[in-house]
């Protein structure tokens, strides 16, 4: 890892900021950024990325400016953050196989922030304009973006360590008139031989004597980036009623999720499925994400029908329908999210996502007539209104009333707006299967990752009849390009489905609930 420090500060960069910045370490009201000279870091780290063709090595270069030191309680923001990811030539072949000619990248780098025994995880997000795929050689993508502010709560070194990296690729087709190849998320983890465990920077905070470093131990819960210590702050979306966000990459216990079963009011049919869905939803204006706890979805799987003729593929289209199921309502369980807004005051909202109509699931399977490889593209179209139940600003409750919600459903850009007009969220997933090998990606029966972007509409009905909070919430939250990533677990087939026809052994509990509770992915 290369770290360069300058003796004198460079001229400050001009940065844009949102209404609020998320403070990773705790209960501090940010002040102006540190005026000490910056330390310029340039880290080159080995990663391993999960591509459709398998695990591939990748090189990630991270550059940023940090202050030389900071005072206790003084907030600062790493500046000039750039993430460059170099993927091997095999990655280009994977994308070309999806009929992609260009990619628009977005990165989400998990950065462990630690001081003494307190740890938290910040997400550094970056984006870039579309880039053409090279004719040969590796694929190099560079993203930039603003990152959360940080403040040390006590004396001691504040350390920043690179963690998991997610690369979201919006794929563009070579032929503008052709159907778009969709999107792909590539998950990368730090290689075991990464120098210094991926350490990016160390910022001394407060009064320190030489050599009195307070960096955490590299092992154990308190020294693990992202594993909260007893006095660590809650991250956004950390808690919801009876539903606690588990550690990153782990699924919650069954006792911590709502039941998911058919009953007399919702009797199953021969094509009934049920599954848990969980994940994260960004609020771009607030530079944070809300954890969506495992939600029960009841699904009626449609029968496959022959699709349009194609000389190279056998095509089947399947239309299925689904509803959230929570306490006899078509909604998610309530979930809490904490952000910093309103001049950096902590804001905690309790919310639910409510259906205004049934969710539609369109799947198209294409089977190659040459090697029998199958590719399945699935679009989930869900009319979902965001309903705010409770709101606290700096610990003080604000009465939002019983009808505080978005004016319309969350809205995505639909790939086929003429066939599917109206306001709805669109999530996309792709599954692939090579003959004789397990399927990868998303399939309705086995689950997987679904992702998309949504516009959060303006709010209405927020207030107690005396104070109108509509404009306040709209100005703080509403807007486009809010990334959503959901993970659906393996479905429980209540009866053997018509096509294909596995048994439900290993898929269902004894009382016919989904056996798998998925882990949310950032």
Tens of pLDDT, residue by residue over 45-70, are 999 999 888 899 999 999 999 998 88
Tell me the average pLDDT across 179-191.
83
Question: Residue 134 is encoded by which pair of tokens?
Answer: 């090279």
Residues in the chain: 522
Query: Is the peptide bond between 500 and the residue preceding it cis, with omega within 30 degrees of 0?
Result: yes
DSSP assignment letter at 96: H
Q: Which residue has the higher pLDDT, 54 or 25?
A: 54
Confidence of residue 442 (pLDDT cuts 50, 70, 90): very high
Smallest Cα–Cα separation from 206: which of 12, 69, 357? 69
Between 136-145, 218-227, 308-317, 348-357, the lowest mean confidence (pLDDT) is in: 218-227
Q: Which residues pair with 244 in a beta bridge?
A: 239
Q: Rounded to an integer, what distance in angstroms lies between the CA atom of residue 427 and that of residue 448?
A: 12
* 180 in Cβ contact with 426 (< 8 Å): no
Predicted confidence (pLDDT) at residue 190 exceeds the cutoff of 90: yes
Q: Rounded to an integer, what distance in angstroms lies between the CA atom of residue 195 and that of residue 214?
A: 20
Q: Rounded to an integer, what distance in angstroms lies between the CA atom of residue 446 and that of residue 436?
A: 16
Q: Rounded to an integer, what distance in angstroms lies between the CA atom of residue 235 and that of residue 238?
A: 5
Per-residue pLDDT tens over the stretch 393-413:
777 788 888 899 999 999 999
Q: Please report the pLDDT score of residue 191 as a whole number.
A: 92
Angle CA 110–115–116, to nearest 5: 135
| Interacting residues of 420 by C-beta distance below 8 A, sequence separation 6+ | 360, 381, 414
Q: Rounded to an integer, what distance in angstroms lies between the CA atom of residue 236 and that of residue 215?
A: 24
Confidence of residue 252 (pLDDT cuts 50, 70, 90): confident
- % the chain with pLDDT above 90: 41
Q: Count the alpha carbons within 13 Å of 221 in the hemisphere toward its beta carbon.
A: 8
Per-residue pLDDT tens over the stretch 277-289:
999 998 888 878 8
Task: Tell me how crowded residue 27 is: count the other CB atoms within 10 A of its CB.
Answer: 12
Q: Rounded to an integer, what distance in angstroms lies between the CA atom of residue 100 and that of residue 109?
A: 24
Indicate whether this model's pTM tops 0.85. Answer: no
| Interacting residues of 176 by C-beta distance below 8 A, sequence separation 6+ | none
Give Cα separations from 142 to 104, 128, 383 (angstroms).
Answer: 10, 7, 35
């Amino acid at each position: 890892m290369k770290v360069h420090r300058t003796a004198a500060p460079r001229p400050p960069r001009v940065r844009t900021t949102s209404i609020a910045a998320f403070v990773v370490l705790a209960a501090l009201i940010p002040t102006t950024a540190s005026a000490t000279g910056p330390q310029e870091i340039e880290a080159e780290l080995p990663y391993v990325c999960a591509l459709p063709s398998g695990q591939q090595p990748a090189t990630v270069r991270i550059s940023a400016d940090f202050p030389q030191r900071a005072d206790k309680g003084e907030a600062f923001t790493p500046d000039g953050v750039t993430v460059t990811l170099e993927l091997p030539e095999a990655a280009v072949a994977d994308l070309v196989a999806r009929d992609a000619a260009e990619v628009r990248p977005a990165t989400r780098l998990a950065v462990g922030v630690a001081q003494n025994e307190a740890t938290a995880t910040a997400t550094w997000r970056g984006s870039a304009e579309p880039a053409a795929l090279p004719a040969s050689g590796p694929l190099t993508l560079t993203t930039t973006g603003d990152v959360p502010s940080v403040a040390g709560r006590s004396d001691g070194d504040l350390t920043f360590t690179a963690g998991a990296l997610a690369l979201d690729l919006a794929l563009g087709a070579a032929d503008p008139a052709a159907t778009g190849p969709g999107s792909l998320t590539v998950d990368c983890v730090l290689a075991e031989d990464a120098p210094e465990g991926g350490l990016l920077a160390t910022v001394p905070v407060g009064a320190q004597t030489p050599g009195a470093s307070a960096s955490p131990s590299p092992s154990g819960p308190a020294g693990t980036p992202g594993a909260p210590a007893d006095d660590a702050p809650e991250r956004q979306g950390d808690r919801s009623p009876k539903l606690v966000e588990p550690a990153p990459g782990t699924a919650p216990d069954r006792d911590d999720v709502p039941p998911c079963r058919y009953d007399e009011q919702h009797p199953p049919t021969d094509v009934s499925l049920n599954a848990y869905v969980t994940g994260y939803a960004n609020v771009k204006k607030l530079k944070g994400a809300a954890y969506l706890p495992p939600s029960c979805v009841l699904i009626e799987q449609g029968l496959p029908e022959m699709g349009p003729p194609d000389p190279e593929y056998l095509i089947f289209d399947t239309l299925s329908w689904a509803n959230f199921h929570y306490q006899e309502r078509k909604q998610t369980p309530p979930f809490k999210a904490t952000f910093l807004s309103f001049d950096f005051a902590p804001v905690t909202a309790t919310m639910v996502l409510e259906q205004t109509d049934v969710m539609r699931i369109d799947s198209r399977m294409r089977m190659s007539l040459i090697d029998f490889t199958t590719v399945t593209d699935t679009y989930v179209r869900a009319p979902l209104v965001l309903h705010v139940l409770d709101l606290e600003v700096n610990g003080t409750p604000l009465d939002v009333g019983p009808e505080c919600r978005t004016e319309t459903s969350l809205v995505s850009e639909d790939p086929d707006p003429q066939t599917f007009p109206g306001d709805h969220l669109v999530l996309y997933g792709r599954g692939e299967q090579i003959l004789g090998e397990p399927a990868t990606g998303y399939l309705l029966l086995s689950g997987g990752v679904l992702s998309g972007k949504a516009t959060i509409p303006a709010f209405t009905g927020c207030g107690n009849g005396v104070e109108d909070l509509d404009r306040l919430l709209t100005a703080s939250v509403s807007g486009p390009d809010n990334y959503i990533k959901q993970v659906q677990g393996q479905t429980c087939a209540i009866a053997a489905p018509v096509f294909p026809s596995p048994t439900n052994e290993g898929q269902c509990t004894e009382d016919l609930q989904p056996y798998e509770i998925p882990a949310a992915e950032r």
